[in-house]
Amino acid sequence: MITFYIRNGICYWEGKCVNPGDRCGVNANPKLKLQDQISEVLRFESSSWMREKTMKKVCSFVSIAFMAALLAVNVYNSIVDARSWGANIPDSILTARSYFKVVNPGTFFRVASPLNQLFALVALVVCWKSGKRVRLYFGLAFLFAVLAEALTFAFFFPRNEILFIGAEGNAEVFAKVWSEWSRMNWVRNLLLAFGLVCSMKGLDSVYKRAQAGVLQATAR
């Protein structure tokens, strides 16, 4: 939270003494009027503070955008692709294999999922000093992104191998694996949805903290 006040002729910004001429922590220039002292301090400090605030918002919005995109594509897989794969097993699985010979959904997820985790981590690091609530929300968002990726490696990769890459199996094997894949993909959707909500709550907390800081600075 941002604090600015003057006590006994000394300007304080974020709990530190600020000299408009030197910024080294000594008394404010006594020749300047109070309003001039405030203007000088704000002129030196507001630029870096605004850059920091902008960086936090940009990183948060980028993280939210990637998580929302990942969730949207994954929900599409559940509603459209997975239902098509299971429409007429084993023929529908064999048709999907032919369709995915050039590219497949994994082509998108192998790029988007690591970027999603990266930007979730960046948002957490950049906003780390914005308070416990902000750290909690962005930390949870990053955790959910990692859990979704761990579930992909541990559960979905082996079943993708059976359904789309491995030797052709019988209809019962395909039906069992497809059913497991379809159910657990909704679990992955929930993980991504929780991560998205946490990222949005983190951004909301960043805005509220900045607004509270401005109001406190004005009140001082």
Note down pLDDT in tens along the chain; length 220 residues.
Answer: 445 555 555 555 555 555 444 444 444 444 445 555 556 555 555 556 677 788 888 999 999 999 999 999 999 999 999 999 999 999 999 999 999 988 888 899 999 999 999 999 999 999 998 889 999 999 999 999 999 999 999 999 999 999 998 887 789 999 999 999 999 999 999 999 999 999 999 999 988 877 765 444 444 5
How far apart CA 171 and CA 167 sit, in angstroms, is 13
Residue 43: its pLDDT value, please? 58
- All structural domains of the chain with their residue ranges: 4-47, 53-213
Residue 87: its pLDDT value, please? 94
Residues in the chain: 220
Tokens standing for residue 89: 């097993």
Residue 52: its pLDDT value, please? 74
How far apart CA 197 and CA 212 sit, in angstroms, is 22
Strand (E) positions, the chain? 4-7, 10-13, 16-18
| pLDDT tens-place string over residues 18-33 | 544 444 444 444 444 5
Residue 217: its pLDDT value, please? 45
Q: What is the model's pTM? A: 0.76
